[in-house]
């Protein structure tokens, strides 16, 4: 595949193999068209980026190339495929009725404590078959893809028992075959305390029943799972219970990527850093000590502006995290509470509400999100050798993708996954 004539190609980073993170998120690597010619990006037969440069340079590099497909990108800009670092996309039964309750003043935890919230979705998801859940999931993934997401982290967590959690993980496994989007799977059997259990009983259930069952299903090659998650929150799993669950996941080889310090400051971030978590999400209530602990570990902060927005939470201290050197990533948090599938909208909210710059938001939504699922060596920037996951934005400056909020998805002209237009 050859894309040529573009007004700009935003590589995000261009330091070659070594690039995992951009400590300096402010300046992105961008190749601009000259007054005479545009920018090309060439993809090899393995779906990897082979070259980025001015049209004539790339043509010179591949003088005899027989391109299977040429995309003319005049007036357009190219950016890496977006990486959504946090979603809960497998469920049935929406919660539109709770939206009006929350608008009328009910808090997230009030709805939750009254048996609504996550446990409402659990009841519906337990009663749905694998094929029903897959049928609900695929159009959601497709909408993500159309708005530019090429890699997404997807959690289980509306089962809270062995059978339903495995059912959800199998649905995600099938979606990997049935969809063009790439998935990083997270087991979240500790997303809520199921009805009839204490938090302690639920912790024991996750550690002694669910995790061994997940391990067995991984070993049978029935499913593949990358990470473990827990909702570490007052009234859900406390810090010590969360630690036990995350350690048990680590023992079966999973990465740690969990909900920390969302509604209450529990020092979840400090605990997560001590476990060398690959990533932590939310962090609206992270303490200064938590930020310092994160900065001196290898963890990524996955920030979720839709949740802060819809629940009117205080914003996470994104600027403090960036200033402290914590790599900040972004996710939609798509779930029945925050029904948003669009990373461009999330980037917009991150800029306006969290005071991130456009460049920081792009770096967060690509390279840093890719690193949160430890795929930054192959994903998240338009560097030679990396997977050709690309968005062609129908505007000469990529910022239109964020600027045109509410309609930004329509600026996505093409989505390219592993070198194929999808």
Q: Is residue 87 a contact partner of residue 172, using CB atoms and an 8 Å limit?
A: no
Binding residues for Fe ion, total number by CB under 5 A: 1
Sequential DSSP letters for 102-125: HHTT--HHHHHHTT-THHHHHHHH
For residues 212 and 227, what is the distance between their CA atoms, to the nearest angstrom?
14
Q: Please report whether residue 333 would count as binding ligand NIG according to CB under 6 A.
A: yes
**Shortest distance, position 26 Cβ to ligand NIG, whole Å:** 28
Binding mask of the shown chain, residues 276 to 315, with x at each position contacting Fe ion by CB under 5 A: ----------------------------------------
**Shortest distance, position 45 Cβ to ligand NIG, whole Å:** 40
Q: Please report whether residue 317 would count as binding ligand NIG according to CB under 6 A.
A: no
Contacts of 131 (CB under 8 A, 6+ apart): none
Closest C-alpha among 292, 286, 361 to residue 324: 292
**Shortest distance, position 305 Cβ to ligand NIG, whole Å:** 12
Q: Is residue 269 a contact partner of residue 290, using CB atoms and an 8 Å limit?
A: yes
Residue 5 or 89 with smaller CB distance to ligand NIG: 89
Looking at residues 389 to 418 of the shown chain, list those that interact with ligand NIG (rule: CB under 6 A). none
Looking at residues 318 to 347 of the shown chain, list those that interact with Fe ion (rule: CB under 5 A). 333
Cα 341 to Cα 84, 233, 296, 345, 407: the distances in Å are 9, 25, 32, 9, 13
- What residue 331 binds from ligand NIG, Fe ion, none (CB within 5 to 8 A, per partner kind)? none
Residue 78 or 256 with smaller CB distance to Fe ion: 256
Q: What single-letter DSSP state applies at residue 208?
A: I
Binding residues for ligand NIG, total number by CB under 6 A: 12
- What residue 170 binds from Fe ion, ligand NIG, none (CB within 5 to 8 A, per partner kind)? none
Q: Is residue 415 a contact partner of residue 391, using CB atoms and an 8 Å limit?
A: yes
**Shortest distance, position 259 Cβ to ligand NIG, whole Å:** 5
Query: Of 4, 22, 88, 215, which one interacts with ligand NIG (CB under 6 A)?
Result: 88
CA 121, 122, 127, 130 dihedral sign is positive
Residue 350 or 358 with smaller CB distance to ligand NIG: 350
**Quick one: which H or E segment has residue 175?**
helix 162-178
**Shortest distance, position 184 Cβ to Fe ion, whole Å:** 14
Q: Is residue 215 a contact partner of residue 207, using CB atoms and an 8 Å limit?
A: no
Site of interaction with Fe ion (CB under 5 A): 333
């Amino acid at each position: 595949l050859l894309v040529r004539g573009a007004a700009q190609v935003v590589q995000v980073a261009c330091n070659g193999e070594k690039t995992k993170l951009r400590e300096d998120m402010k300046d992105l690597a961008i190749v601009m068209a000259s007054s005479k010619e545009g920018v090309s990006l060439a993809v090899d037969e393995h779906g990897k980026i082979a070259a980025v440069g001015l049209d004539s340079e790339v043509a010179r590099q591949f003088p005899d190339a027989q391109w299977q497909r040429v995309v003319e990108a005049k007036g357009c800009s190219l950016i890496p495929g977006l990486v959504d670092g946090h979603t809960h996309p497998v469920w049935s039964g929406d919660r539109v009725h709770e939206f009006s309750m929350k608008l009328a003043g009910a808090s997230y935890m009030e709805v939750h404590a009254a048996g609504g919230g996550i446990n409402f979705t659990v009841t519906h998801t337990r009663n749905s078959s694998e094929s029903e859940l897959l049928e609900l999931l695929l159009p959601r993934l497709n909408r993500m893809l159309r708005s530019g997401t090429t890699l997404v982290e997807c959690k289980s967590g509306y089962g809270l028992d062995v059978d339903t959690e495995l059912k959800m993980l199998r649905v995600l496994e099938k979606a990997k075959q049935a969809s063009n989007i790439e998935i990083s799977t997270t087991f979240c059997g500790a997303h809520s305390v199921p009805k009839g259990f204490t938090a302690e009983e639920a912790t024991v259930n996750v550690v002694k029943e669910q995790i061994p069952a997940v391990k067995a299903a991984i070993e049978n090659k029935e499913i593949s799972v990358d990470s473990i998650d827990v909702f570490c929150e007052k009234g859900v799993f406390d810090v010590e219970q969360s630690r036990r669950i995350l350690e048990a996941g680590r023992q079966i080889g999973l990465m740690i990527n969990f909900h920390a310090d969302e509604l209450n400051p529990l020092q979840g971030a400090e605990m997560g850093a001590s476990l060398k978590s690959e990533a932590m999400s939310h962090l609206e209530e992270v303490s200064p000590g938590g930020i310092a602990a994160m900065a001196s570990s290898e963890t990524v902060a996955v920030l979720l502006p839709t949740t802060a927005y819809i629940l009117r939470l205080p914003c996470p201290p994104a600027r403090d995290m960036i200033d402290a050197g914590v790599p900040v990533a972004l996710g939609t948090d798509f779930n029945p509470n925050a029904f948003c599938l669009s990373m461009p909208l999330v980037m917009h909210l991150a800029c306006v509400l969290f005071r991130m710059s456009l460049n920081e938001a792009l770096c967060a939504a690509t390279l840093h999100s890719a690193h949160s699922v430890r795929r930054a060596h192959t994903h998240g920037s338009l560097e030679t050798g990396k997977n050709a996951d690309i968005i062609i934005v129908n505007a000469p400056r990529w910022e239109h993708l964020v600027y045109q909020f509410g309609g930004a998805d329509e600026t996505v002209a093409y989505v390219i996954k592993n070198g194929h237009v999808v």
